Structure formats: structure tokens, C-alpha cells
Amino acid sequence: MNQRFLSILVTGGAGFVGSHLCRRLLSEGHYVICADNLFSGSKFNIIDLINNPKFEFIRHDITFPLYVEVDRIYNLACPASPVHYQYDPVQTIKTSVHGAINMLGLAKRTGARILQASTSEVYGDPEVHPQNEAYWGKVNPIGIRSCYDEGKRCAETLFFDYQRQYGLDIRVLRIFNTFGPYMHPKDGRVISNFIVQALLNQDITIYGDGLQTRSFQYIDDLIEGIVLMMENTEGYSGPVNIGNPNEFTIRELAEKIIQMIPGTKSELIFESLPLDDPRQRQPDISLAKEKLGWQPKVELSEGLSKTIDYFRDILKQNIY
């Protein structure tokens, strides 16, 4: 049977996750349109793709309509780290809400299947542990993180309303903490922060007592889950959690990174916990196993080793 090559739009395609997804889709022979306004993404992330005849980059902000002809839409556009989304909170919520409306409108016009990259942040500071998709979350609607949390929650609402009202073919994924190459070294996320600080022999900053927990998945596992959700779930829309259920305290993570960077002079320092920072975060991935046949394969140490090598390289090149 001949494989059908698709025309695919990836919004936020020059970002951390988006650039990995573009590579995966191109490796399968598809035509990829990467749309990004480069607020938190970077051309550096896709420089190796520019000369690929099946790849097209469009500098575009999805709060404005985009007119292209595509079979699939992966809607990843939105700054995902507190440093970026709190810099311009109004634009952040516009990206989630207006952006979702525009991309859903594009899907409605073209008949494309559309996937929303949602987030574990829809669960807020959870009272249920681990978090499953039936849990509605505990989110502060007026806090400093609300532009991201509530923007993503509203985007999910829009996706399911468009499905109910217009019969759109939608998919919704809730992505938990992810790391790997092509993260921005100054994005404020915990793993990039810790690795860069350790490589530069700076003290590692832990917010709070470091006993809050997170679960970290490597980027390759996430990309596999995203593609499976888009292509292997006929008739099922989600939402589905994609994350690694192995849970660590933030302090344990910092100590592990120090151990993996021999010779670093970094020590742990503690500062006040930011407002509305969740105390624990761990996905229940039962649904991903059942519906996608998916579970993470990359161990934390293996993923950290690859990510440390990446950051060591870009710091030497002084790219950022």
C-alpha cells in the first residue's frame, strides 16, 4: 500500500517542541509548513530544515488568520515557560484563544484534522494525584500564571465546541513537563535552568524547599505521542495526558544534574516559591496506554545526558 504524504501545518514550529515535530514529519515524507512569530521560537532551531524542498517557514502570528491549504494542523503556538508567557500575558492569552479560533476556522474551511497541544497546567495546583483526564483542575483564574493556564483551558473548550457545533475532526493532548535539545537556555524552565547554571559554575537556584515534585519526559517520547494521537486514534478526540509518570523532587533533580556534570562548582541555593507554583505534578497515563499504545521509553538519565551535551555545545558557540 502506498503511503499518503500529507500537507501539514505546525504552528509554533520554530519552538522547542515544534522544531522536533517538523523534523519527525519531514522524515516521514510529508510537506511541512512551519508558522512561527519567533517570540519564543528561533530560526536556529530549524536552520537545518530551511533547504529541504518539502519545508516552508512562514513568519506569522496566529492571532491573525492564516490562509493555507493543508490536511493536518498541529497547533503548538504559545509561549510555554513562565519567563516568556508572563512577559506579555495579554498576548499569551490571545495566542491561546484567538489563535485557537483562527486555526479551528482554518480546519473548518479546509477539512483538516487539527490537534491542540494543551498542557498539564490545566490541572493547576492539583488536589488529585496523579492527575487523570477526568479531573477538572484547581486553577487560579486571576493569578500571574492564569494567562497560560486559563488560555489553554479556553482553547480546549473551543476545540470541543467546534467539534460539537461543526463536526470538526479534533485531537487534544495535555503535555506534561518535557525536556531535551533545542530548549531555550534562558526559558526559565527547571531543567534548562539547572543545566545551564551547572555548566557555567553558577549556583543552582531552587524555589521553595525543593520538595515539590515534577515528572519529566524526554522530547522523543512526546513527539511519538503527538504523532500517534493525530494519526492512530480514529474517532477519539481526547483529551489525553502525555508525560512520564516517574516523579522526582526538584531537589533530587538538581543533585542529579550536579552529579552528571563533573567538575562543576555549583551549589544549591534556595529562594521564595513563585505565586501559584504547583506543589506536585504527575500524569496518570492509563488513557495514553489504552488509546495510543504509548508509554515513555527514555529514562531521565539518558535524556539528561543528551540535553547536557546540547547545552554544552550551544554555550561554547555563544548562540544565545
Say what angle helices 190-199 and 300-317 make with each other, to 10 degrees.
60
Q: How far, in Å, CA of 241 to CA of 289, rounded?
A: 10
Domains of the chain with CATH codes: 7-317 (3.40.50.720)
CA angle, residues 41, 45, 46, in degrees to nearest 5: 110
What CA–CA distance (Å, rounded) separates 55 from 46? 10
Q: DSSP letter at 243?
A: S
- Omega within 30 of 0 (cis) for the link into 274: no
pLDDT (tens digit per residue) in 124-164: 888 888 989 999 988 889 988 888 899 999 999 999 999 99
Measure the CA–CA gap between 24 and 37, rounded to whole angstroms: 21
Q: Are 48 and 9 in contact (CB under 8 A)?
A: no
d(CA 274, CA 264): 27
How many residues would you count in the chain?
320
308 and 256 in contact (C-beta within 8 Å)?
Answer: no
Interatomic CA distance for residues 155 and 99, integer angstroms: 9
Q: Is the pTM of this model over 0.85?
A: yes
Nearest CA to 302 out of 199, 174, 179 is that of 179
Q: What is the mean pLDDT of residues 224-230?
A: 98
Alpha-carbon distance of 272 to 59, in angstroms, equals 38
Give the pairing of strands 31-36 and 72-75: unpaired
Tally of CB atoms within 10 A around 69: 11
Pull the grid cell for residue 276. 501559584
- 217 and 243 in contact (C-beta within 8 Å)? yes
Mean pLDDT of the chain: 92
Cα dihedral 173, 176, 180, 183 in deg (nearest 10): 90
Q: Are 222 and 115 in contact (CB under 8 A)?
A: no
Contact 291, 237 (CB under 8 A): no
For residue 251, give the C-alpha cell: 531537589
> For residue 183, what is its C-alpha cell?
530548549
* pLDDT score at 274: 64
pLDDT in tens, 253-308: 999 999 999 889 988 988 876 665 667 778 999 999 999 999 999 999 999 999 99
Which of 44-58, 63-77, 200-214 has the lowest average pLDDT?
200-214
Name the pLDDT band for 35 (thresholds 50, 70, 90): very high
The DSSP-derived string for 137-148 is: -B--TTSTTHHH
pLDDT mean over 221-245: 94
Catalytic residues: 148
